[in-house]
Structure 1
Amino acid sequence: MPRRGDTRSRVWIPIISATVALLTALSGCGALEGSSNNPGDGGSGSGGPIEKPNLKVGLLPVVDVAPLYQAVEKGYFKEQGLNVEPIVVASGPKAVESVISGEIDIAFTSYPGAFVAQSKGVADLKIVADAYAARPGHLALVATPDSQIKKPSDVAGKKIAVTSKGSISDLGVMSVLSSQQVDIRSINFVPMPFQDMGPAMQNKNIDGAVVAEPWVTRTAKEQGAVTIVDVSSGPTQNISMSGWAALNKMTSANPNTFAAFQRGLAKGVADVKKDRTALEPILVKHVKIDPATAPLVTIADYPERADAIRLQRVADLMQEFAVIGQRLDVSKMLLEPANTK
């Protein structure tokens, strides 16, 4: 007859074996999850293989795009299994056109450019990530000291340069001036690249210009320009300025790729938000701000995530000034944010 100790052994051996097997399985899962550095496996924190490891990103040389350059230079995209190629384009609307044509995969653009294309059915776009939100001093209508414009009411009937019509530049100015009972219908908005605005004011070809940093600081330094209207004030305070957009069909076909892009970009955002010394070399190298001016540039906000309520303010402003014909529900355009942890 078996001893009592033998009975316990026969009972516990299967239980111990099952426990060891379970722990081994769990250990194997933990070793695999989020630890791969192989780009084919999608990099750190990946939800699966990267479908499209090479991405072309169209952008402008403005302070908004600093986090992307930081992510490229620090290897944050490579950690995610991506090769991101920044390509400088002429304007935000041009970037959107290039996304639609397939020349680039992701476009940096001020939000009106993306929202117009979406509203008119020209493209089905997703906002992959937010880029920049306004703070006082970032976007301003400026004029030289010898201009006829001395105060906001003087802007009526004047010739004002903007990067493009129907952009955040003219929409923001119209919104602020309307709240001050200025006749905005009399303003002659003239499309012009940022770099041409300072000389055009100096040569009296325009009366004033709506410029974003670093051009607020640069026109002040080079042409003595002063701020007449802070475009991030009153009804446009803290409004969203720009973001990263891609075709819906592209994001749907490559979900792991765009999640990886979001994770890499988020690390770049974290760097420039917490450390001005990380930001300024990017401004000098890629935004072409001279080293003496870089510390003077006003920096607004690099949002960690796109906020549907804040972005909706842009679309509603566009409807108010008849840039789009009907209300656009921006929340449907936002790409689900990746887990950045």
Structure 2
Amino acid sequence: MKRLHLALAALAISSLSLVGCGAGSPSAASGSGGTSTSASSASSSNSQESSLKTLRVAAVPVVDVAALYIGEKQGFFNEKGLKLDIKFTAGSSVAIPAMMQDQFDVVYSGSVNALQAREKGLPIVAVAEGGRTTGVQGKDHGGIVVPKDSPIKTAKDLEGHSLAVNAVKGLHEAADRASVLNAGGDPSKVKFLELPLTDMAATMKSGNVDAISTSEPFLTLALEDGNRLIASPFVDVSPEFVTAVYMTSEQKLSADQQTYRNFNEALKKSQEYALEHADEFRAELGNFTSIDPEVAKKMTLTNFGWGFPEDAMKAAAEASKNAGIINDVDASLNGLVARDIQ
């Protein structure tokens, strides 16, 4: 417990900034008997609503979390006795300590951040996958892009050049280093620069960075502007690379394992539905992101999978270690996944 308090003190819990995001409301019940029937229907609806357990979810407005909203609309979470209260945060660095202070029950996070938190001793545990690579080179939701006339042809050619990532020592850098290694290059010879995803393409066009590591929808926009894709780094980590996870605390999981099992099962059903109904998946994005509907129609969607493949998780940890994000592969993986509810 002392260790937990020290870790929480080091994280700026006071900087938490939440933005509410509605998940839609159930359709009004229709009745043929006038006012009394409507009142009865409303009462029944309210009773059903009050019987659901509210799960407070911290998320970020990215493609993966569309599955949560799809699941809410389709009633998959309600079927499991759950009602989601989704709020957007600045990311796991504020959401994890907020969860430890009982402000959230579930936190969406990049998998590399989860590995890092676990290695540092934070008692967090992954209860469900958040998203995966498609596993297909050249057709993934993340990629390394260069200008059309660049001499850089492969990831190995990035040696001696600058590569923009949205966060130094983050998910993209870990994956990018794997791409350089797989191509026979030396990642230590690549200069990683931190830039917002929104600014990358323009910065590369101006010649201030040689290549960018980006993701959808910015990947599609960059390619439509005439740039070239040279690598699919998420695929280079592993064809089953789990890029994001949903986490809770060990304490919360131990106290109510069934609730998190229900969340896992409802989310899996939601993600399966999203994969089978790509048009609905794409349409949902406009409800909580600023992605242009026309871009949403063209972009490569996140893939989903379940069960946290051990080989893929180890590959992610090894890529994180190679990037200097973690120091101990075993420590970052030990107890990270709640295997009992997968």
TM above 0.5: yes
Change (3 A) 1:61 1:84: same
Give the partner amino acid of 2:179: V
Shift of 1:235: 5.0
1:39-78 equivalent positions in 2, closer than 5 A: 53-78=53-78
Shift of 1:233: 4.0
Change (3 A) 1:116 1:144: same
Which 5+ residue runs of structure 2 have no aligned equivalent?
A: 1-46
Report the counterpart of residue 111 of structure 1 in structure 2. Answer: 111
Higher radius of gyration, 1 or 2: 1
Deviations 1:8-60 (Å, cap 9, x if unpaired)?
xxxxxxxxxxxxxxxxxxxxxxxxxxxxx956766xxxxxxxxxx33332223
Shift of 1:113: 0.2
Q: Which of 145, 170, 192 does residue 167 from structure 1 map onto?
A: 170
Secondary structure of the corresponding residue to residue 333 of structure 1: coil
TM-score, structure 2 as length reference: 0.75
Report the counterpart of residue 99 of structure 1 in structure 2. Answer: 99
Please give the alpha-carbon distance, in whole angstroms, between the structure 2 residues aligned to 1:154 and 1:213.
Answer: 24
Please give the alpha-carbon distance, in whole angstroms, between the structure 2 residues aligned to 1:41 and 1:88.
Answer: 25
> Within the alignment, does 1:134 sit opposite 2:160 as a pair?
no
> Contact 1:56–1:106 at 8 Å: present in 2 too?
yes
1:1-341 equivalent positions in 2, closer than 5 A: 38=48, 53-121=53-121, 123-135=122-134, 136=136, 137-145=140-148, 149-221=152-224, 223-328=225-330, 330=333, 332-336=335-339, 338=341
Deviations 1:302-339 (Å, cap 9, x if unpaired)?
11333333222211222344422223263622224558
Give the partner amino acid of 2:161: K
Change (3 A) 1:220 1:86: farther
Please give the alpha-carbon distance, in whole angstroms, between the structure 1 residues aligned to 2:99 and 2:153.
Answer: 41
TM-score, structure 1 as length reference: 0.75
Give the partner amino acid of 2:231: V
Change (3 A) 1:202 1:56: farther
More divergent stretch after superposition (328-337 vs 178-187): 328-337
> Contact 1:316–1:328 at 8 Å: present in 2 too?
no
Secondary structure of the corresponding residue to residue 132 of structure 1: strand
Shift of 1:174: 0.6
Shift of 1:114: 0.7
Give the partner amino acid of 2:318: D
Tell me the matched-pair count: 291
Deviations 1:71-120 (Å, cap 9, x if unpaired)?
12333223333231222233454444543454433221111101111101
Deviations 1:114-138 (Å, cap 9, x if unpaired)?
11111011x1111010122212322
Please give the alpha-carbon distance, in whole angstroms, between the structure 2 residues aligned to 1:160 and 1:180.
Answer: 16
Shift of 1:67: 1.3
Deviations 1:247-304 (Å, cap 9, x if unpaired)?
1112222323222222321221121122212211112323432222222111342113
Change (3 A) 1:149 1:97: farther
> Contact 2:240–2:309 at 8 Å: present in 1 too?
no
CA RMSD across the alignment: 2.6
Question: In percent, how many aligned pairs have the same letter?
Answer: 21
More divergent stretch after superposition (208-217 vs 146-155): 146-155
Secondary structure of the corresponding residue to residue 292 of structure 1: helix
> Contact 1:262–1:337 at 8 Å: present in 2 too?
no
Please give the alpha-carbon distance, in whole angstroms, between the structure 2 residues aligned to 1:273 and 1:315.
Answer: 27
> Contact 2:155–2:179 at 8 Å: present in 1 too?
no
> Contact 2:253–2:260 at 8 Å: present in 1 too?
yes
